[in-house]
Amino acid sequence: MSRAPVVRLPGIAPLLVLMAVTVMSVLVILPLFTVFHDALAKGVGTFFSKLKEPDALAAIRLTLMVAAISVPLNAAFGVAAAWAIAKFEFKGKSVLLTLIDLPFSISPVVSGLVWVLLFGAQGWFGEWLQDRDLKIIFAVPGLVLATILVTFPFVARELIPLMQDQGVDEEAAALTLGASGFTAFWKITIPNIRWALLYGVLLCNARAMGEFGAVSVVSGHIRGLTTTLPLHVEVLYNDYDFVGAFAAASVLASLGLVTLVLKSALEWRHAGELAARRRH
């Protein structure tokens, strides 16, 4: 891949660099440092004991579970939607595209609220659910639904441009060579998008684990039962348990850092196969 040409603007260049560095330090590095500093303020022992509290462990477990359910579902949905949009012509395609983008443009609080309106005690299906003793709101299903809604654009958005770029010729070639539709999908389509898919899943996962707004609405903040890690941070913070809050926050921050490293590694190794930077 050829590098973009570089132009230096005399005089202004150092100024811009200085500004960028300052902003980065104040807005990104300093807060990140604070999180770990405050988490470890009372020593490593306290830090780990805070994380070993049953509520904290439950929050970590719940966060992992919600992500483990919603991310694969969104990966499957993302592949299906991207496939339909990139490889077929049909009426209402732009409507589908808009719908996929919707969660990006509406507030996460709304994404949570819609589920309350649908499945809450006073909601459309509230009574029906109550009669059957099914709990969605203030329970794990609600958390999963809210997370899915908020994170569903990530995989699809990553795949659509790449799949549009790749076209359908390879699949067509596979069919003429005797492959079934199923074989063509698994042996041609999926391998061609694997890195972009992984990239999308990574972003989707980071958001799924870090989501606060939508989840907050449907959670009910029942400690040890419906508080995910971000909610746990808030609960502890409101309780003035700063070390505990920052300890939990540091887990989230580490998660973010790991995601960042993996993401950069993907971009570095497989830039050509990611949609963000095209090959030609």
Partner 1 sequence: MNLQPAADTDATRHSLEIRGISKAYGRFPALKNVSLQARDKEFLALLGPSGSGKTTLLRVLAGLESPDEGEVRFDDEDFLAMPVRRRRVGMVFQHYALFRHMTVAQNIAFGLTVRSRRERPAKSEIADRVARLLSLVQLEGLEKRFPSQLSGGQRQRVALARALAIEPRMLLLDEPFGALDAQVRRELRRWLRDLHDRAGVTTVFVTHDQEEALDLADRVAVLKDGELIQLGTPSEVYENPANPFVYDFLGASCHLQGAVDGGRLQVSDWTSAAPEGTPDGEVNVFFRPNEVAFSTPDGAGVAAKVKAIVQRGADVRLDCLIDGRILELQAETEDLPAGLTVGTEVRVHPLRPQVYAS
Which residues make up the interface to partner 1 (CB under 8 A)?
Answer: 169-170, 172-180, 183, 187-188, 191-192
Least Cα distance to 199 among 268, 276, 266 occurs for: 266
Count of CB atoms within 10 A of residue 170's CB? 15
- Tokens 């090959």 -> residue: 279
Specify the residue, 130 or 180, whose C-beta has the smaller distance to partner 1.
180
Residue 56 or 196: the one with the smaller Cβ distance to partner 1 is: 196
- Long-range contacts of 84-90, Cβ-Cβ distance < 8 Å, separation of 24 or more: 85/156, 85/160, 85/163, 85/164, 86/159, 86/160, 86/162, 86/163, 86/164, 86/166, 87/163, 87/167, 87/168, 87/171
Task: Compute the distance between CA of residue 223 and CA of residue 245 in angstroms, rounded to an integer.
Answer: 14
Minimum gap (Å) between residue 170 Cβ and partner 1: 5
Which one, 10 or 178, has the nearer CB to partner 1? 178
CB of 262 to partner 1, least distance (A): 21
Both tokens of 250, joined, read 């540091």
- The nearer residue to partner 1, 158 or 273, going by C-beta atoms, is 273
For 100, how many CA atoms within 13 A lie in the half-sphere containing its CB? 23
Write b or e for each residue in 119-130: b if 16 or more Cβ atoms lie within 10 A of its Cβ, otherwise e.
bbeebeebeebe
Nearer to partner 1, 172 or 261 (CB): 172
* Closest distance of CB 188 from partner 1, Å: 6
Minimum distance between the CB of residue 267 and partner 1, rounded to whole angstroms?
Answer: 18
Nearest distance in Å: CB 144, partner 1: 33
- Pairwise CA distance, residues 206 & 201, whole Å: 8
We find the least distance from the C-beta atom of residue 224 to partner 1, in angstroms, to be 46
Q: Which residue's structure tokens are 């939607």? A: 81
**Least distance (Å) between residue 130 CB and partner 1:** 51
First and final C-alpha spacing in the chain: 8
Q: Which is nearer to partner 1, 58 or 175 (CB)?
A: 175
Residue 194 CB, nearest approach to partner 1 (Å):
8
Q: How many helices (H) and strands (E) does the chain have?
A: 15, 0
Closest to partner 1 by CB, 192 vs 259, is 192
- In the bound state with partner 1, the residue whose beta carbon lies nearer, of 25 and 180, is 180
Q: If we measure between CA atoms, which residue out of 217, 241, 246 comes closest to residue 229? A: 246
Residue that the structure tokens 């996929």 belong to: 100
